[in-house]
Amino acid sequence: MNERDSEAVAAQLVAKGYTLAPSEKNADVILLNTCSVRDFAEKKAIGKMQNLAADVRKNRPEVVLGFLGCMAQSRGRELIDKLPDVDLVLGTQKFHRAAECLDEIITGAREKIVDVAEEENSEATIREHLLNGSAKTSVSAFVSIMQGCNQRCTFCIVPFTRGEERSRTIPDIVAECRELVSRGVKEITLLGQIVTSYGRRGGSGRGTKVESRAPAPLLPSTLDLRPSTIKSPFVQLLDAVHEIDGLERIRFTSPHPKGYGDDLIDAYARLPKLVESAHLPVQSGSDRVLKLMHRGYARKRFLGIIEKLRRAKPDIGITTDIIVGFPGETETDFEETLSLAREVEFDNAYIFKYSQRRDTPAAEMPDQVPQKVREDRNRRLLELVNGIAARKYDAFIGRQVQILVEGPSRKNPARYTGRTRCNRIVLFDGGARHQGRLMDVKITRTGSFTLYGDPAIMNL
């Protein structure tokens, strides 16, 4: 999401006549888009800004320095008090105001700007794209469908930094997707903190074109309201995006397990452009911890969703987020997380050591787990998850898979990189002629979270 927000700010500045600097050493404006999910991310951003102030600003006092995003939102003016070299602090509902704020600072109209206020309709302002920025972005693009989060998980700072859920309308999102496809994009990832809550609460998307039931004429006369006939607003959005000619693949991130209804599972079976890939944050395998986290589902329900997904799409790639060392997590609770990871066999998992965040209920909970224990559990879970993932990667050797070619590999430009439908990276000896193509490759070997392929059949 931060990558997408940064891209929209960069595109907005380019449209105003700015150019992207190859390095911060020769940039006239340096904006750090920040994350607050863990303390480490905040410390890193502050350390980076201190270095910029000491290196860049000392030699070129005219350089404008700014913080954007979540940390800017949660700390506001405090950041300028702490780091007086900072000129601009823009919150999460103000990305679209970056260019006008810079104008005011550069022309001297205002010396410093802090703007972290809420803004109506800001959910519809992340829309500009930089398609010629890197080869990758011209094939695949992120589209922000909503802002904010109402889940109130006890560990999470996001509801405080991103505000209440607000959704864009389906026509607005579809128009942006169409425009991207007309500019060569083949794959779209729909983005939101909790995409499965799309259209359920506030924002311009609410109560307009989004309905919580399938339109009446589609229902049989007996009014069959079994779960699969009820379409959530998110599934209605998937249907609408799926209609776009020229679009080859649809992804989304991230859903909440609670929002994985049968209509969404059906969508995987029904919509060929919806790829076989799901990122389902489970956070813990222990029901006791899930309850303390306020997640709204139990282990059994989560396992039931995985089973249904695999029944609908046996080759689906499933990834997750897990927190270790949540307050009160005992060794027994942690072992339940290990057993869940063994049972599900995730294709990959992002594992986080619990980080105390201010204003969140978990920060005040008793039995905070010592740092050493968090680190030990992190290591044990990582070992297990990586071992399972490596076995699953090896199982691809000899198989033929379809990839969408994104462009030259960053590490070795002689190689090209693409993604399978189940979201695995494939490297192969390719050239510019392959860029943006859907093609079949045969997997010959594996590396760390990478597959190596040989073009087998070209879909020209």
**Which is nearer to ligand SAM, 97 or 374 (by Cβ)?**
374
Strand partners, 141: 188
- Are 355 and 369 contacting, i.e. CB atoms less than 8 angstroms apart? no
- Give yes or no for residue 323 binding ligand SAM (CB under 6 A): yes
217 by DSSP, 3-state: which? helix
The C-alpha angle 164, 170, 176, rounded to 5 degrees, equals: 100
Among 38, 231, 313, 437, binds ligand SAM (CB under 6 A): 38
Q: What single-letter amino acid sits at 447? A: G
- The Cβ of residue 43 has, within 10 Å, a number of other Cβ atoms equal to 10
* Rounded CA separation 326/333 (Å): 10
Q: How far is the CB of 283 from ligand SAM (least distance, A)?
A: 6
- Give yes or no for residue 129 binding ligand SAM (CB under 6 A): no
Q: Helices (DSSP H) in 313-427: which residue ranges? A: 331-344, 371-394
Q: How far is the CB of 291 from ligand SAM (least distance, A)?
A: 15
**Which is nearer to ligand SAM, 256 or 434 (by Cβ)?**
256
**Which is nearer to ligand SAM, 37 or 312 (by Cβ)?**
37
- Give yes or no for residue 321 binding ligand SAM (CB under 6 A): yes
- Give yes or no for residue 164 binding ligand SAM (CB under 6 A): no
Residue matched to tokens 């190689």? 415
**Which is nearer to ligand SAM, 352 or 452 (by Cβ)?**
352
Q: Which range in 151-159, 301-309, 337-345, 390-398 contacts ligand SAM by CB under 6 A?
A: 151-159
Q: Which range in 76-84, 128-136, 308-316, 348-356 contacts ligand SAM by CB under 6 A?
A: 348-356
Q: Report which of 164, 226, 151 is spatially closest to residue 196, judged by C-alpha positions.
A: 151
Pairing of strands 450-457, 425-429: parallel
Q: Report which of 77, 46, 40 is spatially closest to residue 357, judged by C-alpha positions.
A: 40
Q: How far is the CB of 155 from ligand SAM (least distance, A)?
A: 4
Q: Which range in 7-15, 310-318, 350-358, 398-406 contacts ligand SAM by CB under 6 A?
A: 350-358
Q: Which range in 3-11, 109-117, 303-311, 354-362 contacts ligand SAM by CB under 6 A?
A: 354-362
Report residue 140 as tokens.
Answer: 């695949």
Helix (H) or strand (E) holding 442: strand 438-447
- Are 322 and 289 contacting, i.e. CB atoms less than 8 angstroms apart? no
Residues 273-292: x where in contact with ligand SAM by CB under 6 A, - otherwise, as a string:
--------x-x---------
Report residue 189 as tokens.
Answer: 């990832």
Sites for ligand SAM among residues 381-400 (CB under 6 A): none
- Give yes or no for residue 352 binding ligand SAM (CB under 6 A): yes
Q: How far is the CB of 251 from ligand SAM (least distance, A)?
A: 14
Among 67, 95, 142, 155, binds ligand SAM (CB under 6 A): 155
Among 74, 92, 254, 420, binds ligand SAM (CB under 6 A): 254
* Rounded CA separation 88/70 (Å): 14
Q: How far is the CB of 336 from ligand SAM (least distance, A)?
A: 16
- Give yes or no for residue 144 binding ligand SAM (CB under 6 A): no
Q: Is the dihedral of CA 33, 35, 41, 43 positive or negative?
A: positive
- Give yes or no for residue 374 binding ligand SAM (CB under 6 A): no
Task: Collect all residues with Cβ–Cβ distance below 8 Å to 365 and sequence separation of at least 6.
Answer: 154, 292, 327, 328
Q: Report which of 83, 79, 102, 81 is spatially closest to residue 15, judged by C-alpha positions.
A: 102
Q: How far is the CB of 344 from ligand SAM (least distance, A)?
A: 16
Q: How far is the CB of 205 from ligand SAM (least distance, A)?
A: 18
Task: Collect all residues with Cβ–Cβ distance below 8 Å to 178 and sequence separation of at least 6.
Answer: 244
Q: How far is the CB of 151 from ligand SAM (least distance, A)?
A: 7
- The Cβ of residue 208 has, within 10 Å, a number of other Cβ atoms equal to 14
Residues 175-194: x where in contact with ligand SAM by CB under 6 A, - otherwise, as a string:
------------------xx
**Chain positions contacting ligand SAM, by CB under 6 A:** 37-38, 153, 155-156, 158, 193-194, 254, 256, 281, 283, 321, 323, 352, 354-355, 357
